[in-house]
Amino acid sequence: KEMSTFQSGEGVGMIVFRSGVCVIHSHLRDRFHHSSIFAGASVNFAGEIKISKGKIKWISNKSGHYQPGLDCVKIILQWLRDSPRGVLLSEFPFDLVHSTEVSPEIMNFISSNKGSTHLLKRYNSNSQSKFLRVEPASLLLAALEKFGV
């Protein structure tokens, strides 16, 4: 069965990362949430992930419980890049929830290095979500590392 989340729909799973353990699972409304995975304990990152045919299509920091900031985004992207399989961050975008504060220096770094950012809205029957899409995710990580986030 394909993963799904209540907010983002079919094909999307929730992702939670803590101390080297990454869990991807469907969100089950009123039964299984980001906070269910580690019993509400703190985590390094929580969000959503879209995977198709074994490839990451996008990741977001969308989690109502944890509300991860750029420091958490940096942690998950570093872990993916440095994992034994070496995920290519240049192959997919990262979607930052609209409330994530991004400094002008980071935005300028991304645009001056031929990356792109644009506002994105996702709609489904349950909700509308707004994001700042940063392409590629590798450039977002480079900016976060450069500016000490």
Render each residue's pLDDT in the chain as its tens digit; 149 residues. 566 565 665 557 778 898 998 888 776 666 656 566 667 788 999 999 998 888 999 999 998 777 899 999 999 999 999 998 889 999 999 999 988 999 999 999 999 999 999 998 876 656 677 899 999 999 999 999 999 88
Predicted pLDDT at 41: 81
Q: 96-115 burial, b for 16+ CB within 10 Å, e for fewer? A: bbeebebeeebeebbeeeeb
pTM of the model: 0.86
pLDDT of residue 52: 84
What is the Cα 102 distance to its own chain's centre? 15
73 touches 102 (CB < 8 A): no
Return the axis-axis angle of helices 137-146 and 104-112, rounded to nearest 10°.
130
